[in-house]
Amino acid sequence: MTLPNRNAINQNQSEGTPYRVLQSLVEKQASGKLVIQNPLDPSIHWRVYLGNGRIHYAGSGIGSAERLNYLVSRYLPNRKSTLPPEITDDYQYLCNLWQTGEFSFQEVRAVLAKFTQEALIEIVSQNKAFCYFENTVGLEHLLLYLNLKKIMLPVEDKVRLWWQLRSQITSLFQRPLITNRTRLMELIQVELGEKNPSLRNLPHFLDNQVCLYELASQMEMSTLKLAILLNPLIQEGAITMGSYVLPTKDNRPIVACIDDSPSIQRVVKFTLESSGYQVISIKESLKALTSLLNPKPDLILMDINMPDIDGYQLCSLCRKSSALRDIPIVMLTGRDGILDRVKAKMVGAVGYISKPFLPQELVKTVNTYLPIKNTRSN
């Protein structure tokens, strides 16, 4: 199979071109499982199961129900029922259909081969990905023994088209989201509507924030055709491609740490995030006031000995700000004299932690002024 010339992964790296990595494993007649992870969205990963350099199966590690529904509608159009959403293992699901007599042995092998081919198109058309190889195959039933070149030869043109689309669409598990509805309607009605009538219902489908597999099923077209139709809409800024896992509101209390020491920042972040807090690291005291406004923290940890503006001055400025004056400030310092503590209190600090400090001491102090709750107050 001829693909653009890319550097393959070497034995000591985990990032490379999936096709080259897979080709290398096939040539070595390897047995095991290759996991391919999307570098732009770590939640998206694929698995290729190998035995002596042959392909037993290839499938996705997430979104099994969405992908399976799409593939069943494409390759098994007579099977009209919607699959249960709790499917987490597409291979085992298909094997169960064979074991219960719904598929013959020949039918399940044909379906598994088609599904494997579709997965391999998605995998080998990736420019780069993180690749991990495990020596254990991990499949209960080994029904396929496919030659990589033979299964990919009929779909070379599709792979090339996907290569061209990857700058805009990195995965079929991405969710297209409307960013400019007015522009989207203009493109659909004026530029694309007459050529592609199916796009007229696109805004309705996009409002559901489904992934491309689901969208292709709803619009009754192939994922490749859908991607080609969406590509100009993405380039025009009418839609953008969101991640598979939709962002959720982070309700953890926010602690801002203002300290020019990278080691202190690492300790604070690791300790407090392990204890249920969200940590914002600010290393430049001159930019602190601006950085503290969005998002506004629930508590501030502030080093006293900083260049440009020391902690006493910065604390005093925070107390003069209407947006920051009520936020508790705890000073971090190597000084431990009574005068230093008095001065910190005079400029508005509520607490004082001496460096070096133990993690449990930090957590105890933060908990004193900012107890963990189920949600942040607005």
Q: Each residue of 199-231: pLDDT tens digit?
A: 778 998 999 899 999 999 999 999 999 999 999
Task: Output DSSP code: residue 295.
Answer: S
Asked if the model's pLDDT at residue 378 lies above 60, the reply is no
Q: Are 79 and 61 in contact (CB under 8 A)?
A: no
52 conformational bin, left if phi > 0, alpha if psi -120 to 50, beta if neither: left
Cβ-proximal residues to 23 (8 Å cutoff; 6+ apart), any chain:
8, 148
pLDDT of residue 364: 92
**Residue 243, SS3?**
coil
285 falls within a domain: yes
Q: Each residue of 166-183: pLDDT tens digit?
A: 999 999 999 999 999 989
194 falls within a domain: yes
User: Is the Cα dihedral 276, 280, 283, 287 positive or negative?
Assistant: negative
7 falls within a domain: no
Domain total of the chain? 3
Asked if the model's pLDDT at residue 13 lies above 70, the reply is no
pLDDT of residue 11: 40
| Domain final position from 110, 136, 162 | 162
pLDDT of residue 356: 85
71 falls within a domain: yes
What is the spatial distance between Cα 50 and Cα 35, in angstroms, rounded to a whole number?
Answer: 11
375 falls within a domain: no
pLDDT of residue 2: 43
- Residue ranges making up the domain that contains 217: 175-242
What is the spatial distance between Cα 59 and Cα 47, in angstroms, rounded to a whole number?
Answer: 5
Residue whose entry in the numeric block shows the structure tokens 């033979």: 150
pLDDT of residue 374: 40
The reply to whether 279 and 326 lie within a common domain is yes
At 23, the amino acid letter reads: Q
The reply to whether 309 and 261 lie within a common domain is yes
Q: Work out the mean pLDDT of the chain and round it to a whole number.
A: 85
120 falls within a domain: yes
Cβ-proximal residues to 62 (8 Å cutoff; 6+ apart), any chain:
43, 44, 45, 173, 244
pLDDT of residue 283: 86
Q: Each residue of 153-170: pLDDT tens digit?
A: 999 999 999 999 999 999
Among residues 318, 319, 361, the alpha carbon closest in space to that of 336 is found at: 361
Strand partners, 16: 129
Q: Where are the beta strands (DSSP E) in the chain?
A: 15-16, 32-37, 45-51, 54-60, 129-134, 175-178, 239-242, 254-258, 278-282, 299-303, 329-333, 351-354
| pLDDT-wise least confident of 114-118, 252-256, 333-337 | 333-337
The reply to whether 277 and 316 lie within a common domain is yes
Pick 193 or 340 by higher pLDDT. 340
Strand partners, 49: 33, 57
| Domain final position from 100, 130, 162 | 162
The reply to whether 200 and 315 lie within a common domain is no
Candidate ranges 128-132, 282-286, 340-344; pick with highest mean pLDDT = 128-132
5 falls within a domain: no
Give the max Cα distance, the chain: 84
The reply to whether 112 and 227 lie within a common domain is no
Asked if the model's pLDDT at residue 120 lies above 50, the reply is yes
Residue positions counted in the chain? 378
What is the spatial distance between Cα 301 and Cα 297, in angstroms, rounded to a whole number?
Answer: 10
Asked if the model's pLDDT at residue 46 lies above 80, the reply is yes
The reply to whether 129 and 27 lie within a common domain is yes
The reply to whether 76 and 187 lie within a common domain is no
Among residues 7, 52, 4, 1, the alpha carbon closest in space to that of 26 is found at: 52
9 falls within a domain: no
Q: Each residue of 308-334: pLDDT tens digit?
A: 788 888 899 898 888 888 999 998 887
> Domain of 270: which CATH number?
3.40.50.2300
The reply to whether 75 and 192 lie within a common domain is no
pLDDT of residue 87: 67
pLDDT of residue 42: 76
The reply to whether 327 and 362 lie within a common domain is yes
Query: Sorting pLDDT into bands at 50, 70 and 90, what band is 80?
Result: low
| Domain final position from 185, 210, 242 | 242
pLDDT of residue 86: 63
Q: Each residue of 272-281: pLDDT tens digit?
A: 988 889 999 8
Task: Output DSSP code: residue 188.
Answer: I
Among residues 115, 222, 233, 120, the alpha carbon closest in space to that of 169 is found at: 233
The reply to whether 157 and 22 lie within a common domain is yes
The reply to whether 120 and 32 lie within a common domain is yes
Average pLDDT over residues 344-361: 88
Task: Output DSSP code: residue 155.
Answer: G
The reply to whether 152 and 209 lie within a common domain is no
**CA–CA distances in Å: residue 204 to residues 85, 207, 228, 259, 271:** 22, 5, 19, 48, 45
Q: Each residue of 232-261: pLDDT tens digit?
A: 999 999 999 998 887 666 788 999 999 988
Pick 39 or 220 by higher pLDDT. 220
